Chains A and B, each alone.
Chain A
Amino acid sequence: MKIALCSSHVPMARGGHRHIVDWLGIRLEEFGHRVETVYVPQIDSLNTLFRQFFAYRWMDFSWADRVICFRPSAHFIRHDAKIVWFIHHIRFYYDLWGTSFSAKLRDPEKVAAFRNALHAADTAALREARRVFAISKNVADRLRKYNGVESEVLYQLLLEPEKYHSSGHNDEIVYLARVHPVKRQWLLIEAMRHVKSPVKLRICGACDPEHEKELRERIRRDGTGDRIVLDFRWIDESEKLAYLSNCLAAASLPFDEDSFGYVALEAAYADKAILTASDAGGLLDLVWDGFNGLVAEPTPEALGLAMDRLYLDRAAAIRMGRNNREVVARLALSWPRVIERLLS
């Protein structure tokens, strides 16, 4: 089949979400389909969003047998065989509306009117789809609650999961992700103050200089520098594989994320127990507390306790790591299945 993959894209951003699209494209071509991928630059600002919707409406995809849309507002595309694999809403106007995340609004009436219009437009566009899939249970819940749209949960996959493996368990818990306040490496660093066992923490990922300063300052004040390894740079695939294969366990505890994300998924395939927090959102679809990892309250004390637990009961950590295989099987994380669902 001729398949078009279309997603919006924040200009200059290198996001995990591009993997969802690009890796699907690679696998679809292996299955014999002809794929074209279109990334449309989009700025999620009130004044330009509706105009950008029109751009999608006028885009010609008539040459494709199927169009699969990902990040909003790609779902505005017009096509008889439109399939939506919904990654997330523009959350400012949905579940984050009215919370402390909403910036001070200069013109609340205008923005509220816009929000209503956006809900109506999104709903109408989603209703046109032949099928709607959601990247996680959270996202499926929001689609139902805000747009009245039923969706099937379809999780993201790794391109080459077989590359991940475990070669042993040392004494470090690793957090291999972009270092950013929303990813909450800072919380894990604070938790080290409460850790009583010799467990160590390794943080690897690109980081803003501002935030780096804050983290180093925190470590200095807590005196935990001897037990935390900081590596503020983007690490490549082979390094990531090595750290994962040797670690005691892996952590991923972003705040309220839409999906479980690649960081946790990589850890799962590396047969390592995953440490996360109860408010991490989509992570909870993948991490089953006590089975293939630990879900702690998002406080330094609770996380410190969880890290100690992983160190002191090594056998349990190893067992939980291996249990990831069952989780992966039960979540049906396989490319043939994903492709079958998308093209059914």
Chain B
Amino acid sequence: MNVFIVNVLRPYVRDGVEGLGLELQKRLVAAGHDCDLVRIPFRDGSPAGILSQMFLFRSLAVGGGDRMIALRFPANLVPHGEKILWLASRCRMACGSGEEELRRAMGNAYGESFRDSRKVFVVSAAARERLRRELGYAAEILRPPVNDAEAFSGGGPGGYIFAGGRITPAKRLDLLLRAMALADRRVKLIVAGQPDADADGLALRALAERLGLGERVKFDFRFLPRETYARYVNECAAVAYLPHDEDFPGYVAMEGALAGKGVLTASDSGGALELAADGETGWVAEPNAESLARAMNSVWDGGSRTDRGAAARERWLGFGATWETTLERLLQ
């Protein structure tokens, strides 16, 4: 089949959805399809800008092709006869009182795109629940697979918590650092990944220094070679992913679970909560430093790491999220 994937382009940002689009294209081509990955600039800063850009996406002519897969707002507005939505990221609906009109316009646009689509998928149970609550729509869950599952074979119980992935304030890594300051001295942390901007990395280093964390925190700010990243995951005690209310469960959480590592997250993190059932497959803290510090301490309680890690792995495998089934469900 000829398949279009439509994503938005945020300049110089390479986030999880971007990676998902690229991997999806690779998998489609490997399965014998022809695939065009379309990335259109979108700025989700100002409400005024959003409306005109909604027009923009509606004006695009993605013609021909047997299927079009849209990965996020406003790509879901691009007209196509055989549209599939796999909404992997949310557009934070304007919630200030002055933006009621914009909310309504966006809600209508979403609703229209649901009606115009063959299928509407979201990436987690949290996302499904949010869509139901905000737009009264029941989407199906299609979880993103781990791209290179063989790399995450796991390893020993590990001496550090691993916070891997994109380095940007939205991931609340500063909260993790503040928690480190309150946690036991034996708790160690590795923060690794590509910062969106140099300033983001520098801010975290400065904070760690102010908090006197010293050798307990290691920063590895760069685009990590895959083997390095996998090693960090395979050898850690637990993975940490605690953004505020995200749909996407977070690659480090998914990969960590697959590698048999429990997931540390916050009660308001959204998608990651599917993987981190407190007491079973991970540790769920309130989104403040004290609660997180307590959770981080308990990672080293007895056999906690290995037990919850094993349970996390079982849970992930139970989701059955493979690229084979993903393509099947997208293209059915």
Report A's interface with B, CB cutoff 8 A: 2, 4, 9, 11-12, 34, 36, 38-43, 45, 48, 51-52, 54-55, 58-64
Contact = CB atoms under 8 A, between A and B. Distances in A.
Nearest to B60: A55
Interface in B1-59: 2, 4, 9, 11-12, 34, 36, 38-43, 49, 52-53, 55-57, 59
B124 to A, nearest CB: 29
A12 B64 contact: yes
Contacts of A51: 59, 61
A12 B34 contact: yes
A59 B59 contact: no
Contact of A41 (B9, B11, B52, B62): B62
A41 B63 contact: yes
Nearest to A53: B59
Contact of B42 (A11, A39, A45, A60): A60
A41 B39 CA distance: 10
B59 A41 contact: no
A43 B40 contact: no
Nearest to B62: A41
A64 B10 CA distance: 12
13 contacts: A9-B36, A11-B65, A12-B65, A38-B9, A38-B41, A40-B40, A40-B60, A41-B36, A48-B61, A58-B59, A59-B53, A60-B43, A60-B53
Contacts of B4: 11, 41
A63 B11 contact: yes
B41 A59 contact: yes
Closest 9 pairs between A and B when the two form their complex, measured CB to CB:
A58-B56, A55-B59, A43-B63, A60-B43, A63-B11, A48-B61, A43-B61, A51-B59, A41-B62
Nearest to B2: A12
Interface residues of B, number: 26
A63 B43 CA distance: 10
Nearest to B38: A41
Nearest to A54: B59
A36 B52 CA distance: 22
Contacts of B11: 2, 4, 36, 63-64
B55 A58 contact: yes
A63 B45 CA distance: 12
A309 to B, nearest CB: 43
A36 B36 contact: no
Given A42-B61, A55-B56, A58-B53, A34 B12 contact: yes
Contact of B61 (A39, A52, A61): A52
Contacts of B56: 54-55, 58-59
A45 B63 CA distance: 11
A40 B39 CA distance: 8
Contact of A60 (B34, B41, B55, B61): B41
Contacts of A45: 61
Nearest to B78: A41
A45 B53 CA distance: 22
Contacts of B39: 38-39
Contacts of A40: 38, 40, 60
B63 A58 contact: no
Given A60-B41, A60-B53, A12 B36 contact: yes
Nearest to B13: A36
Contacts of B9: 36, 38
A62 B9 CA distance: 13
Instruction: Pick from A38, A45, A52 the residue with the most CB of B within 10 Å.
Output: A38
A11 to B, nearest CB: 6
Contacts of B57: 55
Contacts of B53: 58-60
A276 B38 CA distance: 36
Nearest to B49: A60
Given A2-B11, A9-B36, A61-B41, 20 more contacts: A2-B12, A11-B63, A11-B64, A12-B2, A12-B64, A36-B11, A38-B39, A38-B41, A39-B38, A40-B40, A41-B61, A41-B63, A42-B61, A43-B61, A55-B56, A55-B60, A59-B40, A60-B42, A60-B43, A63-B11
A99 B52 CA distance: 39
A60 B57 CA distance: 12
A315 to B, nearest CB: 47
B62 to A, nearest CB: 5
A45 B9 CA distance: 26
A39 B37 CA distance: 9
A42 B38 CA distance: 11
